[in-house]
């Protein structure tokens, strides 16, 4: 490893295990990432870093923590049969599967023109995404947006939830905290918990997503489509 590279990875080394740092390094070697440039978010399950590619485009790099006990507890409900098998054998491989799932579901959504950050690649527990924001400043979460057109934003979100379901996916962690407001549109992020339509709890998760979104917009005085009516509209169009 070149000295410059190891300096760039020094911040990662403070938080992550050796194999995660090696994964980050392999993305640099493959020229997907040029360098890391600060932290965007530190969650219980992951950290999100700002990075640059070789053409100076900004990236959001989400790194899942392999050592988080909270993550380990919370993950089970959202795994499919294969994921559960991995989980019971080796937690690390379940985290890799989780990261792969987030990438694949984001890709399906992106290809269906749903507003999500473009997924660029993934490896092990690292997911590389298009950065949403301007001048290096990340787009705000919907919860922190005040002077916006709520009616229009709600309509876009209803459409996106519906389209996503038509693609066979339920987000399962949807709320004003997992939506970024970018270029006057809502973007769905954080697909780690998302499940396929055939997951045993998919419809329960869909109804919960609908309730969360409706609650937020009701508080913003939008005349929302009632929870069960919207659920019907999405599941039995
Ligand atoms: N593509 C992106 N562009 C810009 N910022 C992003 C992007 N993806 C994530 N972020 C930033 O990182 C934060 C956390 O991302 P995300 O919700 O995917 O991770 P998380 O593990 O759920 O974290 P938390 O537990 O804090 O919700 C977002 O609220 C946002 O500020
Ligand atoms: Mg989140």
Instruction: Point out the residues of the chain with pLDDT beneath 50.
Output: 1
Q: What is residue 9's predicted lDDT score, i.e. its pLDDT?
A: 63
Among 131, 152, 184, give the residue marking a domain's end: 131
Is 209 designated active site?
no
Q: Are residues 103 and 214 both part of a single domain?
A: no
Q: Are residues 144 and 201 both part of a single domain?
A: yes
CA distance 100 to 133: 24
Is 34 designated active site?
no
| DSSP string covering 167-213 | TTEE-SS-STTSEEEETTEEEE---TT-EETTSTTHHHHHHHHHHHH
User: Hey, whose CA ends up nearest to atom 5 of ligand 1?
Assistant: 138
Q: Which of 149, 160, 190, 227 is catalytic?
A: 190
Q: Give the binding-site residues of ligand 1, using a 6 Å CB cut-off.
A: 40-41, 43-46, 48, 60, 62, 117, 129-133, 138-139, 141, 178, 189-190
Among 83, 101, 131, give the residue marking a domain's end: 131
Domain that holds residue 192: 140-235
Q: What is residue 145's predicted lDDT score, i.e. its pLDDT?
A: 96
Nearest atom of ligand 1 to the alpha carbon of 44: 25
User: Hey, whose CA ends up nearest to atom 27 of ligand 1?
Assistant: 43
Nearest atom of ligand 1 to the alpha carbon of 117: 1
Query: Which H/E stretch holds residue 148?
Result: none
Q: Are residues 159 and 224 both part of a single domain?
A: yes
Nearest atom of ligand 1 to the alpha carbon of 48: 12
Q: Are residues 17 and 111 both part of a single domain?
A: yes
The partner residues of 121 in beta bridges, in order of sequence, read 128
Q: Are residues 151 and 227 both part of a single domain?
A: yes
Q: Are residues 12 and 119 both part of a single domain?
A: yes
pTM: 0.94
CA distance 217 to 151: 8
Among 131, 156, 184, give the residue marking a domain's end: 131
Report residue 113: phi and psi, to 5°.
65, 25
Q: What is residue 135's predicted lDDT score, i.e. its pLDDT?
A: 86
Helices H / strands E in the chain, number of each: 9, 11
CA distance 33 to 73: 31
Query: What total of structural domains would you count in the chain?
Result: 2
Q: Are residues 122 and 29 both part of a single domain?
A: yes
Which tens digit of pLDDT belongs to each residue from 189-207?
999 999 999 999 999 999 9
Query: In the numeric block, which tokens belong to residue 142?
Result: 């919907």
Asked whether the CA dihedral 150, 151, 152, 157 is positive or negative, the reply is positive
Q: Are residues 69 and 94 both part of a single domain?
A: yes
Q: Can you give the CATH number for the domain in which 193 is found?
A: 1.10.510.10
Q: What is residue 136's predicted lDDT score, i.e. its pLDDT?
A: 85
User: Hey, whose CA ends up nearest to atom 19 of ligand 1?
Assistant: 190
Question: Strand 195-196 and strand 169-170: pairing?
Answer: antiparallel
Of 107, 145, 189, which is best to mutate to test ligand 1, by the most ligand atoms within 8 angstroms of its C-beta?
A: 189
Q: Are residues 50 and 74 both part of a single domain?
A: yes
Which tens digit of pLDDT belongs to each residue from 112-128?
999 999 999 999 999 99
Cβ–Cβ under 8 Å, residues 169 and 108: yes
Q: Are residues 77 and 164 both part of a single domain?
A: no
How many CA atoms lie less than 13 Å away from 177 in the CB half-sphere?
5
Q: Which of 37, 147, 155, 173 is catalytic?
A: 173
Q: Are residues 7 and 106 both part of a single domain?
A: yes
Q: Are residues 150 and 213 both part of a single domain?
A: yes
Place of tokens 């660029």: 120
């Amino acid at each position: 490893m070149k000295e410059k590279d190891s300096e760039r990875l020094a911040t990662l080394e403070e938080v992550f295990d050796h194999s995660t740092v090696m994964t980050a390094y392999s993305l640099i070697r493959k020229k997907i990432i040029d360098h890391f440039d600060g932290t965007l978010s530190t969650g219980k399950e992951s950290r999100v870093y700002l990075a640059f590619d070789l053409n100076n485009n900004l990236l959001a790099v989400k790194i899942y923590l392999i050592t988080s006990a909270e993550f380990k507890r919370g993950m089970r409900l959202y795994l499919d049969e294969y994921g559960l098998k991995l989980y019971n054998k080796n937690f690390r491989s379940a985290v890799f599967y989780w990261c792969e799932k987030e990438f694949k579901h984001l890709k399906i959504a992106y290809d269906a023109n749903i507003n999500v950050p473009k997924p660029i690649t993934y490896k092990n527990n690292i997911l590389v995404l298009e950065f949403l924001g301007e001048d290096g400043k990340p787009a705000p979460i919907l919860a922190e947006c005040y002077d916006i057109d709520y009616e229009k934003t709600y309509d876009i979100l209803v459409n996106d939830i519906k389209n996503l379901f038509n693609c066979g996916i339920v987000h399962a962690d949807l709320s004003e905290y997992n939506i970024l407001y970018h270029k006057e549109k809502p973007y769905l992020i954080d697909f780690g918990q998302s499940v396929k339509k055939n997951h045993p709890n998919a419809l329960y998760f869909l109804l919960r997503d609908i309730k969360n979104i409706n609650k937020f917009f009701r508080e913003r005085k939008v005349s929302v489509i009632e929870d069960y009516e919207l659920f019907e509209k999405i599941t039995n169009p």
